[in-house]
Structure 1
Amino acid sequence: MRLRSGKRQKADDRPETDGRPTAPSATPGLAVELRGVRRQYGRGTGAVHALAGIDLALPRGTFTAVMGPSGSGKSTFLQCAAGLDRPTSGSVCLGGTEITGMSENELTELRRSRIGFVFQAFNLLPSLTVEQNVLLPMRLAGQRQDRHRATAVLAQVGLADKARRRPGELSGGQQQRVAVARALITSPDVMFADEPTGALDTGTAAEVLGLLRQAVNDLGATVVMVTHDPTAAAWADRVLFLADGAFAGGVEGGSAERIAEHMAALTARTARTGPTSPTARTSAMAGVSA
């Protein structure tokens, strides 16, 4: 199947212009850019540092997978990068727009119009048809609901004949393909996928991952996927590994076996040494090490 063409950062942490804080400028050509992103829950001795100073730059038109042991900060990373949670400090830019200081209303509008989401649980509304589910982001963003666009996107994911069906009438794999179509409908700057194949069998998972891969190859989409599965991660251009809230190296264009070896070594090292200090952690700015 082929596709066709937190807390807000403190003001005194930023440069001042005419007495007002200014956001750091985004780097051209990047879909996702995180600078010094930290996320802390709680205070004092009981504080949990879910993210400990992340620097990351992802070019447009790339497919990146993020892996890590349980508790490494994967979910917090995705939530902060996608504007679902606010970093304690640092800045996040999506599609050239600095989002860290946005109001809740501005963030909601950005998520509806410029970000696509694919979740493990599909998150389709059972009372709506497939077509209505796909068009939902446009409806919520107050845009004209373009049924021709919905038809085209459903055809891209191989569901042209399912537009009038409801989610309950579809298989799990078909529901996830509807979710991919919904994520594509607004031609977003970035698609975030959170364990998108976790509820699917191996064959169906490969179909969904193939759709994400082809969205990057054929449509120039940018995909950031959190996964625990080395086989799923192998579909990505690069795999970044999180440990103790910071990136700890990565693999470019690796096989599932090689990715699994890196993941096993990281898990063993984390279990052996325990949490490391922020100064000992590595960041991943423009590239990754093999």
Structure 2
Amino acid sequence: MKLRNGKRQKTEDRPDAPPTTPGLAVELRGVRRQYGRGAGSVHALAGVDLALPRGTFTAVMGPSGSGKSTFLQCAAGLDRPSAGSVRLGGTEITGMSENKLTELRRSRLGFVFQAFNLLPSLTVEQNVLLPLRLAGQRRDRRRAAAVLAQVGLTDKARRRPGELSGGQQQRVAVARALVTSPDVIFADEPTGALDTGTAAEVLGLLRHAVDTLGATVVMVTHDPTAAAWADRVLFLADGTFVDGLERGSAEQIAARMTMLAGRTDSMAGVAA
């Protein structure tokens, strides 16, 4: 069910889906993701429960192989969990058809990736408007101008991505993510290819989207400095969330990561 103005509206919820919790942008219940079968199977997610309110900025961290990428893919409907339930903006997506999932991603989700993923043959304005075009909506140039102004690129609308710096290209990607006013923006290592100063500019834009525009941001990162921009940092290990930190500094987050890595190494040694 989706809540709008306090009223429930029908969606493609499965009959056995648990009831919606009002005010949540992302909700995972008992989510598992297994690759392969038998002795060689890998449990990338081992029972994830998570509830993220609307208008929040959450960072997800963890050692290599902890399940961060799988978590993001399952939460964003890019991969299907082996078990459990995923809701976005109150809509149960776990049993959706691929066509419906694609429609939802285009109209109600925004994505920012490390590699920018801009189309080199299109102008900046055309790249920003692409989600509207793919969703079958009117290509609103005023909307494109508004989001480009928000990211400080009003004068770059006619340029091609190859004419921009890496930081400017990532700002275009943020504008593209904002253009549909999505329920959730998923960011996968959005500052991984940027220098420190440019990374801070991009993170500031995501922070502004949450604080001023009411957006919800879920960001996977390995960088404690990037994670410090979030309201909450969640730590993954072996496919489950094992720790969390509210409004932590980069130093506090780095210390938690070091402790978690040590704990993971110790457990791996015992298992061996």
The TM-score by the shorter chain falls in which range?
over 0.9
Q: CA–CA distance in 2 between the matches of 1:275 and 1:86?
A: 32
Which residue is 1:7 aligned to? none
Instruction: Give 4+ residue runs of structure 1 displaced > 6 Å after superposition.
Output: none
Which residue is 1:237 aligned to? 231
> Which among 105, 112, 125 is matched to residue 106 of structure 2?
112
Change (3 A) 1:275 1:146: farther
SS, match of residue 228 in structure 1: coil
Which residue is 1:66 aligned to? 60
- With normalisation by structure 2, the TM-score equals 0.93
1:158 aligns with 2:152: yes
Instruction: Map 1:95-106 onto structure 2 (within 5 A).
Output: 95-106=89-100
Which residue is 2:217 aligned to? 223
1:167 aligns with 2:161: yes
| 1:96-118 C-alpha deviation (Å, 9 max, x unpaired) | 10000000000000000000000
Count of aligned positions? 258
Measured after TM superposition, the shift of residue 185 of structure 1 is: 0.2
Measured after TM superposition, the shift of residue 25 of structure 1 is: 2.3
1:274 aligns with 2:255: no
SS, match of residue 274 in structure 1: helix
Q: CA–CA distance in 2 between the matches of 1:134 and 1:21?
A: 37
Computed over aligned residues only, the root mean square deviation of the Cα atoms, in angstroms, reads: 1.3
The one-letter amino acid of 2:104's match is L
Q: CA–CA distance in 2 between the matches of 1:88 and 1:140?
A: 29
Q: CA–CA distance in 1 between the matches of 2:227 and 2:240?
A: 18
Measured after TM superposition, the shift of residue 274 of structure 1 is: 1.8
Which residue is 1:54 aligned to? 48
- Identity rate, percent: 84
SS, match of residue 110 in structure 1: helix
Which residue is 2:252 aligned to? 258
Q: CA–CA distance in 2 between the matches of 1:23 and 1:146?
A: 36
Change (3 A) 1:209 1:107: same
Q: CA–CA distance in 2 between the matches of 1:246 and 1:23?
A: 22
1:182 aligns with 2:176: yes
Change (3 A) 1:123 1:97: same
Measured after TM superposition, the shift of residue 24 of structure 1 is: 2.3
Measured after TM superposition, the shift of residue 232 of structure 1 is: 0.1
- With normalisation by structure 1, the TM-score equals 0.87
| 1:194-239 C-alpha deviation (Å, 9 max, x unpaired) | 0000000000000000000000000000000000000000000000
| 1:82-129 C-alpha deviation (Å, 9 max, x unpaired) | 000000000000001000000000000000000000000000000000
1:142 aligns with 2:136: yes
Q: CA–CA distance in 1 between the matches of 2:19 and 2:74?
A: 18
Q: CA–CA distance in 1 between the matches of 2:36 and 2:221?
A: 27
SS, match of residue 106 in structure 2: helix
C-alpha contact (below 8 Å) 1:24/1:98 kept by paired residues? no
SS, match of residue 219 in structure 1: coil
Q: CA–CA distance in 2 between the matches of 1:21 and 1:204?
A: 47
Measured after TM superposition, the shift of residue 77 of structure 1 is: 0.1
Measured after TM superposition, the shift of residue 143 of structure 1 is: 0.3
The one-letter amino acid of 2:174's match is V
The one-letter amino acid of 1:237's match is D
Q: CA–CA distance in 1 between the matches of 2:44 and 2:59?
A: 19
The one-letter amino acid of 2:218's match is V
C-alpha contact (below 8 Å) 1:25/1:98 kept by paired residues? no
Instruction: Map 1:179-218 onto structure 2 (within 5 A).
Output: 179-218=173-212
